[in-house]
Amino acid sequence: MNLLLSDEQRMLVDTARRFVYAELIPLEEEVEQTRRFDPDKARAIFAKSRALGLYAMNIPAEYGGGGLSAVDTCLVEEQFGHATDILVRRAFGNVYEVLLEGTPAQKERWLKPAVRGERTFSVCFTEPGAGSDAAGIKTRAVRDGQSWVLNGGKYFISDGLFSDFFVVSAVTDPAAGAKGISLFLVDKGMPGFTIGRDQPMMGLAGTSHVEMFFDNLRLGPEHLLGKEGQGLKLALETLGRIRLAHIGARAVGKASRLLGMMTGHARERRQFDRPIGEFQMVQQMLADSAIEIQSARLLVLHAASLIDAGRDAREAISMVKVSAAETLGRVADRAVQVFGGSGYCKDLPVERLYRDARIFRIFDGTSEIHRGVVARGLMRHGAALVDPPM
């Protein structure tokens, strides 16, 4: 198994990294101070990203996307992780593979405009009583002839103020349990659809996280995404991809950025007439961070390779979610420690990155939930769960 990057992959990673550091990182302080991203600047970086082929890179080329494999997508997503969330969203998009389940007409109406960047969307699965438990939703869609009537609400919907349409999970058959959930495509502005408040967050400046409410919202048959009753399966597949690339790979990237900052500071900061990087305890923090980042990266690439091979990657993705998120949390904490008092000040990005890192252990399934997934996999398969793929 060759873990070294090909020439094409190195070029892809280099292109993404150059773009992130030339176009996105310089905008971070403005976003942090204003808590918003200027629309004109957002359109400008979108145009540059699309020209490089980085927008919607995970979608097959036949629909206008980049057609990258899961492995190549994660390699690029790691570079995206160096930048703050809202900048990544505007530059590279959030075009989730779930739209590939649509009919030809749905792909024309929703998927292709999203790939072109003409329309944006969010997935809406989270509710007050259904966070890590995706099957615990209460939002209900009741059939009325050929139509559906949607009632309920969602919250913590990322980028909800900006998005033009939404993929919404709803119970369509309460008696069927997990097989009674379906997905619907809902356009902003439809009668009965209300966007609620933007919920303030500790980090992720500039990204909205909204409540939304559905009050007798009528949907035609063209709004049902996939088959009735397949919603939970499609939702979990979508969340799996998000956990792998948007959380796992990006967490590795963010931790790598922090490690670079820590190492530079350890060389430059002097105490007792020598660089602090010469002190054993600082060296331990640097070494542990490097080891853990590399371990998390390999888990990301392993899970991505399983997806590319058409293998079941559920437990592997859960391992990624725990490893990458927890690694980022530890590296961010060490970075503050290495920088000392200056790391606690808002004058340096370490403080902001520390706050942004905390959510990775929570969203799209907490670390505790994913440890449970791995443990149940072990109970079913034993140690074979961690054997080399055959």
For 157-210, write each residue's pLDDT tens digit: 999 999 999 999 999 999 998 899 999 999 999 999 999 999 999 999 999 999
In this structure, the answer to whether residues 243 and 351 fall within a common structural domain is yes
What pLDDT is recorded for position 131?
Answer: 64
Report pLDDT for 385: 87
Residues 237 and 164 in one domain: no
| Interval 377-383 mean pLDDT | 89
Residue 170's H or E segment, with its range, is strand 165-171
**DSSP secondary structure code for residue 381 in this structure:** H
Is residue 299, in this structure, part of any structural domain at all?
yes
- CATH code of the domain covering residue 377: 1.20.140.10
Contact present, 106 and 222 (Cβ < 8 Å): yes
Provide, rounded to the nearest whole percent, the portion of the chain with pLDDT above 90: 90
Q: 59: domain CATH number?
A: 1.10.540.10
Looking at the fold, whether 100 and 23 belong to one and the same domain comes out as yes
Structure tokens at 296: 């998390």
Same domain, 240 and 370: yes
Question: What would the mean pLDDT of 64-77 be, rounded to a whole number?
Answer: 95
The answer on pLDDT for 12 being more than 70 is yes
Q: Read off φ and ψ for residue 279, nearest 5 degrees.
A: -85, 135
Beta strands in 172-328, from DSSP E residues, in sequence order: 181-187, 193-198, 209-219, 224-225, 270-271, 274-275
Examine the domain organization and report whether 167 and 265 are in the same domain: no
Question: Is 142 a residue whose pLDDT tops 70?
Answer: yes
Q: Which of 102, 177, 97 is nearest to 137 (CA)?
A: 177
The CATH number linked to 208 is 2.40.110.10
In angstroms, the CA 154 to CA 138 distance is 9
Decide if 328 is inside a domain: yes
| Whole-number pLDDT of residue 89 | 95
Q: Is there a single domain that holds both residue 131 and residue 201?
A: yes
Residues 163 and 35 in one domain: no
Report the pLDDT averaged over residues 309-331. Answer: 96
Give the span between the Cα atoms of 79 and 15, in whole angstroms: 9
**Beta strands at 165-171 and 121-124: parallel, antiparallel or unpaired:** parallel
Domain region containing 83: 7-115
* 22 domain-assigned: yes
Q: pLDDT over 70 for what percent of the chain? A: 98
Q: What is the largest CA-CA distance in the chain?
A: 80
Would you say 52 and 174 are in contact if contact means Cβ atoms under 8 Å apart?
no
Domain count, the chain: 3
pLDDT band at 134 (very low <50, low <70, confident <90, very high): low
89-107 pLDDT, tens digit each = 999 988 999 999 999 999 9
Give the end of a domain, one of 161, 196, 228.
228
Kindly state whether residues 307 and 359 are assigned to the same domain.
yes
In a domain, 271, yes or no: yes
Q: Is residue 38 predicted with pLDDT exceeding 70?
A: yes
- Domain end, chosen from 208, 228, 248, is at 228
Distance, CA of 119 to CA of 113 (rounded, Å)? 5
Residue 150: name the closest of 232, 218, 96, 79 by CA.
218
Residue 24 sits in the same domain as residue 146: no
Last residue within a domain, chosen from 228, 246, 280: 228
Pair type for strands 181-187 and 193-198: unpaired
One domain for residues 270 and 177: no
Distance (Å, whole) CA 338 – CA 313: 36
Cβ-contact 19, 30 below 8 angstroms: no
Q: Residue range 233-255: average pLDDT? A: 93
Task: Look at residue 364 and tell me whether its pLDDT is greater than 90.
Answer: no
81 and 197 belong to one structural domain: no
C-alpha to C-alpha distance for 266 and 286, rounded to whole angstroms: 9
Q: Is residue 2 part of a domain?
A: no
Within this chain, do residues 93 and 170 fall inside the same structural domain, yes or no? no
Report if residue 1 sits inside a domain: no
- Whether residue 155 is contained in a domain is answered as yes
